[in-house]
Structure 1
Amino acid sequence: MPLKYDGHDIPTCFATCSIGFNESHTLPLKLKALADAGFGAIELSMPDILAYGKMLHGREPGSKDFDTLVEIGKQIRTQTTEYGLKIVMLQPFANFEGWPKGSDERRDAFERAKGWMRIMEAVGTDMLQVGSSDAPGISSSFDDLASDLAELADLCAEKGFRIAYENWCWATRAPNWKDVWEIVKKADRANLGLCLDTFQSAGGEWGDPTTKSGVIEGITKSELDTRWNESLTELSNTIPAEKIFILQISDAYKVVPPLETKVNEEGLRPRGQWSHDYRPLPYDGGYLPVRDFLEAVLDTGFRGYLSVEVFDAKGQERYAAMGDYAQKAMESLQKLLQS
């Protein structure tokens, strides 16, 4: 159901990767829980497509077996239609931009993109989330990154598709909202916009999982807050509302003890580790200034989808069922808009 804010209906969404914490929590059960809680749409996550394929066929399909993934996608579309849920976006498409011209990595990136576009057609969505790359060895030039995204946007435009480019706060070249906005402006394509995220910005510009305080150190807390508020004011005054395609909502736990300032065995940087495991619903144990960021985005005039994207399997164990958790998520969105 849409939520009321300032005389407008704000549509609600939930990322399928963000609910359920064991294999018994199948995609159909997730969809039912979200629909029953009043969500009108989902972000469809690739891990859920793979898991649903395993449920249907007894084995998980390959991530590049696009013929099979398309058929699975068609069946998912039937499921979402039955539950009255719109698929707003396919996610998360990673490590796309910045590879050297003529490299195997660049060829693979565009082959993957074309495969994901086939899945988008199958499931009936028109938007692809692209996360700012965390791969080593990519170009440091925003012109190069923008050129790749412009080329992808042109491919998507042929199908009537859009790209929502998101700053991942552990990214190699574009960890902040200012970075992805600069790249989007350089690319200059009507179907290329932003996926903003309360965690990615608050966790990148204000919070820090490697410090005991949980915030960026080396400056005073007053200076940190001033810098954060200046960033929010700049966002509100510079990004047109129509270039924000979706806003993802989550908080973060303070990590105790703090994470080490190094990559883990999976190659993830500290903020990437934080993102993957320590992101609860707002008002459920986190500490980031989530409401501040939401207000800044709403001040642009944005009235589009608020999408819950959390990663908190242990936290979900506190709730009796997925339906209870989905209802808690809806309540957290309502509280954010009413604060």
Structure 2
Amino acid sequence: MKELVAPLPPQLNIADFGMDTISLSGTLPDKLAAMRRAGFSQVMLSARDLTGHAEGVDAAIEAVRASGLRVTGFQVLRDFEGLSGRLHSYKVDIAKAMLRMCHGVGAPVLLVCSSTSAHATEDREAMVRDLRKLAMLALPLGIKVAYEGLSWGRTIFEYTAAWDLVSRADMPNLGLCLDSFHALATRTAPEFIDDLDPQRIFLVQLADYMWNEIRTVEERITTARHFRVFPGEGVHSDAVADIVLRLDRLGYRGDYSFEVFNDDYLQIPPDTVAQRARDCAVWLGEDVLHRSVPLPGSLRLRAVAA
């Protein structure tokens, strides 16, 4: 059978780092091809990548498979925990549909964001029960659930609080998603990372922004959705580097995904944006983590570090 994509050059082996499709303009195949040309080997997908594909969900899944990119994870299930009655039943149905797509595209992780709904209870025991139920739904499909504390979440808005719920739910396939943007926006002390269990961190998302502080929740939301930049491009480079170094010392050996919502990036060619992301990956891998560029035939960056 003819190979669908060319192998990655060994000097571009940046396999610990991946891109989110949200950063790029164009069709799904355009985005996948740009990532591939930049040297990435993995991609973080959105449900809209599948449902919005012109030829349908099955064709979108085939495009992902043909790209040769490994799927980092699938996003995003919102406002799931803390609801009751018909709202809860409705969200369970949505979760089942998301899990089926997640499984269909071969994503090992479903990302779930903390609830912002005014209809959700602030009872943390109820939230724990809901997260446990979601993990149970994902278990037969072999999918992990990564729970993230949105910095504008109604009750859970820091990774420390998200970790508390994950720990109390105590499900083997329920873990934490740590997002550097939200940690920086809430000014959560990075020292708390040292108390996490690296085996229960299922995903790390990285991004920065261009101003020193965010004064209001509204500004936080606007910055998150329109003005993020890649790590190393913003004014919090030292803080992002510190997060990555703490995770590495902790023993985290999972994936890093660049989740960068930026309106400007959507107005320039995807290859240009993907190259910026590649420069970021090289900075993190070589200058921050001091991982060598692998020689031909050598192991992944994380293996070199070990």
Whether the TM-score (by the shorter chain) exceeds 0.5 is yes
* CA displacement at 1:2 relative to structure 2: 11
* CA displacement at 1:255 relative to structure 2: 8.3
Evaluate the alpha carbon distance shift between residue 197 and residue 84 of structure 1 in structure 2; reply closer, same or farther with a 3 A threshold. same
* CA displacement at 1:91 relative to structure 2: 0.3
Q: 1:254 aligns with which of 194, 211, 230?
A: 211
**Does 1:312 pair with 2:294?**
no
Post-superposition Cα deviations, 1:151-200, rounded to whole Å, max 9, x if no partner, equal 11011112111101111111011110110000000100000011111101
Q: 1:81 aligns with which of 59, 65, 68?
A: 65
In structure 1, the partner of 2:161 is: 179
* CA displacement at 1:286 relative to structure 2: 4.0
**Does 1:235 pair with 2:193?**
yes
In structure 1, the partner of 2:94 is: 112
In structure 2, the partner of 1:301 is: 251
**TM value normalised by structure 1:** 0.76
In structure 2, the partner of 1:46 is: 47
* CA displacement at 1:87 relative to structure 2: 1.6
User: 1:254, 1:172 → 2: CA distance?
Assistant: 24
In structure 2, the partner of 1:214 is: none
Q: SS at the partner of 2:146?
A: strand
Residue type of the partner of 1:280? V
What are structure 2's unaligned runs of at least 5 residues?
1-7, 289-306
Residue type of the partner of 1:302? Y
In structure 1, the partner of 2:16 is: 11
In structure 2, the partner of 1:152 is: 134
User: 2:185, 2:111 → 1: CA distance?
Assistant: 19
Q: SS at the partner of 2:283?
A: helix
* CA displacement at 1:141 relative to structure 2: 2.0
Moved more, 246-255 or 164-173: 246-255
User: 1:144, 1:306 → 2: CA distance?
Assistant: 30
Q: SS at the partner of 1:172?
A: coil
In structure 1, the partner of 2:34 is: 33
Asked whether the 8 Å contact 2:50–2:61 carries over to 1, the reply is no
User: 1:9, 1:82 → 2: CA distance?
Assistant: 20
User: 1:200, 1:135 → 2: CA distance?
Assistant: 18
RMSD across aligned positions (CA): 2.4
In structure 1, the partner of 2:232 is: 283
* CA displacement at 1:291 relative to structure 2: 1.4
Residue type of the partner of 1:178? T
Asked whether the 8 Å contact 1:13–1:39 carries over to 2, the reply is yes
Asked whether the 8 Å contact 2:72–2:109 carries over to 1, the reply is yes
Evaluate the alpha carbon distance shift between residue 10 and residue 39 of structure 1 in structure 2; reply closer, same or farther with a 3 A threshold. closer
Kindly report which structure 2 residues correspond to 1:73-222, keeping only aligned pairs within 5 A, or say none: 73-100=57-84, 103-205=85-187
Q: Would you say how many aligned residue pairs link Structure 1 and Structure 2?
A: 278
User: 2:212, 2:266 → 1: CA distance?
Assistant: 18
Asked whether the 8 Å contact 2:47–2:101 carries over to 1, the reply is no
* CA displacement at 1:149 relative to structure 2: 0.4
Moved more, 325-334 or 30-39: 325-334
Asked whether the 8 Å contact 1:168–1:176 carries over to 2, the reply is yes
**TM value normalised by structure 2:** 0.84
User: 2:240, 2:266 → 1: CA distance?
Assistant: 20
User: 1:36, 1:119 → 2: CA distance?
Assistant: 26
- Percent identity, please: 27
What are structure 1's unaligned runs of at least 5 residues?
57-71, 206-227, 263-268
Evaluate the alpha carbon distance shift between residue 290 and residue 2 of structure 1 in structure 2; reply closer, same or farther with a 3 A threshold. farther
Asked whether the 8 Å contact 1:73–1:122 carries over to 2, the reply is no
* CA displacement at 1:3 relative to structure 2: 10
Q: SS at the partner of 1:158?
A: helix
Evaluate the alpha carbon distance shift between residue 73 and residue 89 of structure 1 in structure 2; reply closer, same or farther with a 3 A threshold. farther
User: 1:198, 1:333 → 2: CA distance?
Assistant: 15
* CA displacement at 1:108 relative to structure 2: 1.0
